[in-house]
Amino acid sequence: MTRTRACYRRPMRALPWVLGLAALACACTPKQSGPALWAKACDRALETIDDKTPERVEECRESMAAHPPGIADDIARCLLAGPATRTQAEEKRDFDACIRPETQTYFDRVIAANEQLGTLGQALRAQDGPVDHGPDGQLRALEGVPAEQLVDPWGHPIIYSDVPGEAQLCIVGPDGKHGTADDICEQPFVYFQF
């Protein structure tokens, strides 16, 4: 399935899709959380996942540790609540009805953070001259971007690293610390050729 493969290329951008959530959570769930529940959810999800999944498991486990407790089990319960063959709209509706409000809020913030990075990346590419940021990397001003857009959905400042050839925008996530597993980063000047 195309959307499953897209989930693995950019997992954070694909969170609204329940199948993408299943695949990500299945690969990322720490072993101590609900093994029987996860066995069922993983069996269902793995039927449609490509053969590169095992390569991502260790990196993904580290990343999942940064998420709020119980998110992985929430995803498994929601996946098992309905039939395996559903449309994308049905999956989203069922998932939204099933998931705990605090987990949904977390996913909404992650989705908003990804959209915000895309917008800021476009503004950076259009910027004339140097980017105004502090020694700690905190983005201070960006041409054509309102000040409230320089703060992430958790209320932390956006971090900009201008290492030549590796410029990067980072949202530090719920923990507020740069360089941890819950960071969401994008390299705005990297272009992929297909």
Q: Who has greater pLDDT, 70 or 169?
A: 169
Same domain, 6 and 94: yes
Give the residue ranges of DSSP H helices in the chain: 2-9, 18-28, 35-46, 53-64, 71-80, 88-98, 101-126
| Distance separating alpha carbons of residues 72 and 85, to the nearest angstrom | 21
Torsion sign across C-alpha atoms 93, 152, 101, 4: positive
- Six token digits for residue 20: 């993408």
Of 99, 114, 149, which residue is a domain's last? Answer: 99
Torsion sign across C-alpha atoms 110, 113, 119, 125: negative
Same domain, 83 and 145: no
Same domain, 95 and 163: no
- Predicted TM-score (pTM) above 0.85: no
Q: What is the pLDDT of residue 39?
A: 57
The residue range of the domain holding 11 is: 2-99
Q: Who has greater pLDDT, 83 or 17?
A: 83
Same domain, 34 and 77: yes
What is the mean predicted confidence (pLDDT) over 35-48?
54
Same domain, 73 and 6: yes
Q: What value does the CA radius of gyration of the chain take, rounded to a whole number of Å?
A: 18
Same domain, 80 and 136: no
C-beta atoms surrounding 185 within 10 Å: 15
- Six token digits for residue 48: 């449609």
User: Measuring CA to CA, how many Å separate 111 from each of 12, 64, 164, 194?
Assistant: 7, 16, 28, 25
- Kindly state whether residue 171 falls inside one of the protein's structural domains: yes
| pLDDT tens digit sequence for 81-132 | 555 556 666 766 666 677 667 777 887 888 888 888 888 888 888 877 777 7
| pLDDT tens digit sequence for 134-183 | 777 788 788 778 888 888 888 998 888 877 677 888 888 888 888 888 88
